[in-house]
Amino acid sequence: MSDWLIFFGLLIGAYLFGSIPLAYLLAKWIRGIDLREYGSGNVGFTNVAAWTSKWLALPVLIFDVGKGVLAVFVSRWLGFSLPLQGLVGIAAVAGHNWPIFLNFNAGRGLLTTIGVVLALVPKAAGVLILISFVGIPFHLLSLTSLVCVFMVTLISWFSTVPPFDWLIGASLGSERLAMTLVFLVLWLVTAIRRITVPPSSLSKTVSPSRLVINRLLFDRDIQDREAWLHRTPGREKPIQ
């Protein structure tokens, strides 16, 4: 079997594995709710923690990060180059964001993206995760995490310059451009997913430009965080 057939199989496998919606399944099995109809509508860690329990959210966190880590590690074990490992990781993120098992509407892919970056450049990922935590007290984690994902793109491009070479682990050499593009695509997948989530009834209360800004920066349709996070089917039309 040729390497390209194996690689194509990896892409499909990573997408399908990324499509497994553990957050949705646990909430449905244990609490009997459809996460897409509650809170942020996000099929992911934060919405599970808000509407079920933090203990139930823990395996979701581990699993969603693990999707990205495993996708990269398997492709590395099979001997593929760093940029190709990144592409397999992107397939896992795409599966999480647009899963075939939930009509292509689920999470935002941030944890799976973190898993991909951790597997590719662990030092840079560790530093940027710590930086993104600055947003937690101000309820700006969505914004700081998005900025940090983009920072990986810049770090990879300047990987020949200290201290960025230390963060990346080594100079990327001839792979620098390819890896920069990989990280840029990871950022774009996150940003595009935020902007293009299905509309809610609350999205009709703001202008289209404001809606894009709210979604991109804060990962919600409206500025009122509490009203967004505490939506229920009785107060808000379920997300289709």
Non-local (6+) Cβ contacts of 126 within 8 A are 118
Q: Residue 234 has what pLDDT?
A: 45
Q: Residue 37 has what pLDDT?
A: 81
| pLDDT tens-place string over residues 220-233 | 888 887 777 777 65
The torsion defined by the Cα of 111, 113, 116 and 118, in degrees rounded to 10, comes to -60
Measured CA to CA, the distance from residue 102 to residue 74 in angstroms comes to 25
Measured CA to CA, the distance from residue 184 to residue 149 in angstroms comes to 8
Non-local (6+) Cβ contacts of 176 within 8 A are 156, 157, 159, 160
Domain ranges across the chain = 3-229
Between 1 and 198, the higher pLDDT residue? 198
Whether the pLDDT of residue 1 is over 70: the answer is: no
Whether the pLDDT of residue 99 is over 90: the answer is: yes
36: pLDDT confidence band, cut at 50, 70 and 90? confident
240: pLDDT confidence band, cut at 50, 70 and 90? very low
| pLDDT tens-place string over residues 174-212 | 888 999 999 999 999 999 998 988 877 778 788 889 989
Q: Residue 33 has what pLDDT?
A: 86
Whether the pLDDT of residue 171 is over 70: the answer is: no
Measured CA to CA, the distance from residue 49 to residue 57 in angstroms comes to 5
Q: Residue 76 has what pLDDT?
A: 95
Measured CA to CA, the distance from residue 152 to residue 117 in angstroms comes to 8
Measure Cα distances from 218 to 93, 140, 215 in Å.
Answer: 20, 7, 5
The stretch 75-90 carries a mean pLDDT of: 95
Q: Residue 24 has what pLDDT?
A: 92
pTM (2 decimals)?
0.89
Whether the pLDDT of residue 86 is over 50: the answer is: yes
Positive or negative torsion for Cα 62, 64, 65, 70: positive
Q: Residue 170 has what pLDDT?
A: 64
**Which segment of 77-86, 140-149, 169-178 scores lowest on mean pLDDT?**
169-178
